[in-house]
């Protein structure tokens, strides 16, 4: 029988439903929570951003997460193949194709940042953060990331490791790693939060982070929050569709979606509770308000507070080690989606496909990496009226635009294209009702998510062209 007619048997599967949740959580929890979330908060108006973010998570992120899971499990294929199989002869799969490209691009700069985390791990081993950094943590960051051979090597090692894990297949390696790393990571974050909240600037920091100032409203914040929500949950490029395709029919997807989204949001919020109190201890309020995030934010701030902790050596080493593990489980999922596409649709072998994508992402990462180095070529400041770098260009286009566009495609596909009835049938598995919030989900995925994404996108594109 051709593989197409036996979708359940034609590919590998997760050991159990719990393993799937761990893998999906591993995909979600990563640099997005610890590194990118605080930057977005600083870019997007502090407490106002947090509010918008939580709205985006509940109204759009959670419904789309479940939608991706269902597509994957029902389609039993990569994003493109799954959409083609569920709705043959239509063009819906183009959204899947967009995801594959987006995945490779995001992997490219993701790996650069993960490389920085690797370098900071080394510095922690050397005891750099057990005392205040003499030149200042910002200068240390600039100097470290400007060391091109070292940064290049770190980027290469990280993407290489990701490719090896993906080439080995989903079953080996990552499952066990996530199971012990995630709880440990959570504990460490709690300890850091405790220290941060008892620092002198903590009240200012908490106020900035938690209290929305509606007078600051700017419509672009919503788009920022939306992009961040997709990035952090790992949605919009088929990673979850692909992971879902390794699922058997019996798992409870709504519960899995809630667990993964809840955990991811918890970790992001915790990261904010660590960064902002510490940030306000290091900087004056006025300075923070002018801050436009900047890719170095967490590195600069955190490396300034480790020495205030007991066992600072152990703390800094553990922190960066776990950050790297979290980044690795995420980059694996990023690469996995594009790899599964090449395997299923182009007939490549798994190692070939993983290496091809990783190589592309490695090369594409180089300009991002150099754009952190202050050269006039890449820092064409003022080009668009704002500080411009290749890094932030990719981040803006692919995270802030492409992920929501793909999310729009996914919600329209499940809500209308493939059809909500078919999705529900798959979720029900013969039971009369699939899950308690089934009706809300249908409403969200058919109306709220697509309309909200569309309005925000159109509005911002309009704004962009009108200056």
Considering the rule CB under 6 A, would residue 365 count as an interface residue with ligand TRP?
no
The site for ligand TRP, by CB under 6 A, has a size of 17
For residue 265, the surrounding DSSP H or E stretch is: helix 253-282
Backbone angles phi, psi at 431, to 5 degrees: -80, 155
CB of 133 to ligand TRP, least distance (A): 26
Task: Considering only residues 192 through 231, tell me which ones interact with ligand TRP, judged by CB under 6 A.
Answer: 231
Contact 117, 327 (CB under 8 A): yes
Least distance in angstroms from the C-beta of 399 to ligand TRP: 7
Neighbours of 183 (CB within 10 A): 10
Q: Which two tokens stand for residue 358?
A: 């990783």
Does 30 contact ligand TRP by CB under 6 A?
yes
- Choices 129-137, 150-158, 171-179, 235-243 (CB under 6 A): range interacting with ligand TRP: 235-243
Which string of x and - marks every residue 317-346 that binds ligand TRP (by CB under 6 A)? -------------x--xx------------
Indicate which single residue of 25, 27, 283, 364 sits in contact with ligand TRP (rule: CB under 6 A). 27
Three-class SS of residue 82? helix
Residues 6+ away with beta carbon under 8 Å from 429: 249, 250
CB of 127 to ligand TRP, least distance (A): 28
Within 268-327, which residues bind ligand TRP (CB under 6 A)? Answer: none
Nearest distance from residue 223's CB to ligand TRP, in Å? Answer: 16
Smallest distance, Å, CB 211 to ligand TRP? 25
Give the contact letters, 381-420, x = binds to ligand TRP (CB under 6 A), - = no.
----------------------x-----------------
Q: Which stretch binds ligand TRP (CB under 6 A): 28-36, 286-294, 300-308, 338-346?
A: 28-36
423 sits near ligand TRP (criterion: CB under 6 A): no
The closest alpha carbon to 166, from 17, 30, 338, 29, belongs to 338
Kindly state whether residue 31 participates in binding ligand TRP, applying the rule CB under 6 A: yes
Select from 26-34, 46-54, 215-223, 284-292 the region that touches ligand TRP (CB under 6 A): 26-34
Query: Which residue's CB is nearer to ligand TRP, number 30 or number 201?
Result: 30
CB closer to ligand TRP, 236 vs 296: 236
What are the backbone dihedrals phi and psi of residue 295, each rounded to the nearest 5 degrees, phi first? -65, -15
- Residue 21 tokens read as 């949740």
Tell me which of 56, 98, 225, 237 binds ligand TRP, using CB under 6 A. Answer: 237
Q: Measure the CA–CA gap between 325 and 45, rounded to whole angstroms.
A: 30
What are residue 387's phi and psi, to 5 degrees? -60, 120
Q: How far is the CB of 137 from ligand TRP (least distance, A)?
A: 23
Q: Could you say which of 38, 96, 234, 296 contacts ligand TRP (CB under 6 A)?
A: 234
With contact defined as beta carbons under 8 Å apart, do 185 and 343 qualify?
A: no
Q: Which is nearer to ligand TRP, 332 or 423 (CB)?
A: 332
For residue 287, give every residue at least 6 positions away whose Cβ sits within 8 Å of its Cβ, in sequence order, or none: none
Distance CA 186, CA 270 (A): 9
* In the complex, least distance from residue 339 CB atom to ligand TRP, rounded to whole angstroms: 13
State the alpha helices, DSSP H only, in 303-380.
Answer: 312-346, 350-371
Cα separation, 193 vs 268, whole angstroms: 12
Half-sphere exposure (CA, 13 Å, Cβ side) for 448? 17
Closer to ligand TRP by Cβ: residue 30 or 365: 30
Question: Is residue 28 part of the contact set for ligand TRP (CB under 6 A)?
Answer: yes
Token pair listed for 430 = 């013969």
- Three-point CA angle 227, 452, 400, nearest 5°: 15
Is 232 a binding residue for ligand TRP by CB under 6 A? The answer is: yes
Q: Which is nearer to ligand TRP, 102 or 303 (CB)?
A: 102
> For ligand TRP, which residue has the nearest CB?
32
Residue 153 Cα distances to 59, 116, 129, 355, 362, angstroms: 41, 10, 22, 17, 11
Contact positions with ligand TRP (CB under 6 A) in 120-139: none
Helices (H) and strands (E) in the chain, counts: 23, 0
Residues of this chain that interact with ligand TRP (CB under 6 A) are 27-28, 30-33, 106, 231-232, 234, 236-237, 239, 330, 333-334, 403
């Amino acid at each position: 029988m051709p593989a197409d007619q036996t979708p359940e048997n034609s590919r590998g599967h997760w050991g159990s439903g719990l393993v799937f949740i761990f893998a999906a959580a591993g995909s979600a929890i990563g640099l997005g929570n610890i590194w990118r979330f605080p930057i977005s908060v600083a870019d997007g108006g502090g407490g106002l951003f947090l509010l918008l973010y939580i709205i985006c998570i509940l109204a759009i992120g959670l419904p789309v997460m479940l939608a991706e899971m269902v597509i994957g499990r029902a389609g039993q294929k990569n994003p493109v193949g799954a959409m083609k199989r569920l709705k043959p002869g239509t063009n819906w799969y183009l959204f899947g194709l967009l995801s594959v490209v987006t995945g490779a691009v995001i992997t490219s700069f993701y790996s650069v940042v993960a490389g920085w985390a690797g370098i900071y791990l080394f510095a922690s081993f050397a005891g750099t953060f057990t005392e205040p950094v003499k030149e200042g943590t910002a200068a240390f960051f600039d100097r470290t990331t400007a060391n091109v051979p070292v940064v290049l090597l770190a980027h290469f090692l990280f993407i290489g490791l990701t490719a090896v894990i993906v080439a080995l297949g989903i079953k080996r390696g990552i499952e066990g790693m996530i199971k012990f790393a995630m709880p440990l990571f959570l504990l460490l974050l709690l300890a850091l939060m405790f220290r941060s909240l008892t620092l002198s600037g903590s009240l200012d920091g908490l106020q900035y982070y938690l209290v929305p100032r509606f007078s600051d409203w700017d419509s672009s914040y919503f788009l920022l929050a939306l992009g961040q929500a997709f990035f952090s949950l790992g949605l919009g490029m088929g990673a979850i569709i692909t992971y879902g395709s390794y699922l058997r029919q019996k798992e409870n997807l709504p519960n899995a979606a809630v667990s993964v989204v809840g955990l991811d949001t918890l970790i992001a919020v915790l990261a904010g509770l660590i960064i902002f109190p510490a940030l306000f201890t290091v900087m004056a309020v006025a300075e923070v308000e002018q801050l436009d995030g900047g890719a170095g934010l967490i590195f600069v701030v955190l490396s300034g507070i480790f020495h205030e902790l007991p066992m600072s050596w152990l703390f800094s080493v553990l922190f960066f080690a776990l950050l790297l593990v979290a980044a690795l489980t995420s980059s694996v999922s990023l690469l996995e989606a594009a790899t599964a596409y090449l395997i299923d649709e182009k007939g490549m072998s798994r190692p070939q496909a993983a290496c091809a994508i990783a190589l592309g992402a490695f090369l594409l990462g180089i300009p991002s990496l150099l754009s952190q180095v202050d050269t006039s070529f890449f820092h064409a400041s003022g080009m668009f009226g704002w500080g411009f770098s290749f890094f932030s260009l990719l981040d803006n286009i692919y995270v802030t635009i492409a992920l929501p566009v793909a999310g729009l495609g996914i919600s329209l596909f499940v809500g209308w294209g493939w059809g909500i009835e078919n999705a529900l049938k798959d979720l029900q598995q013969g039971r009369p009702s699939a899950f308690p919030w089934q009706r809300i989900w249908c409403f969200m995925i058919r109306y709220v998510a697509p309309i909200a994404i569309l309005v925000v996108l159109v509005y911002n594109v309009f704004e962009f062209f009108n200056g």
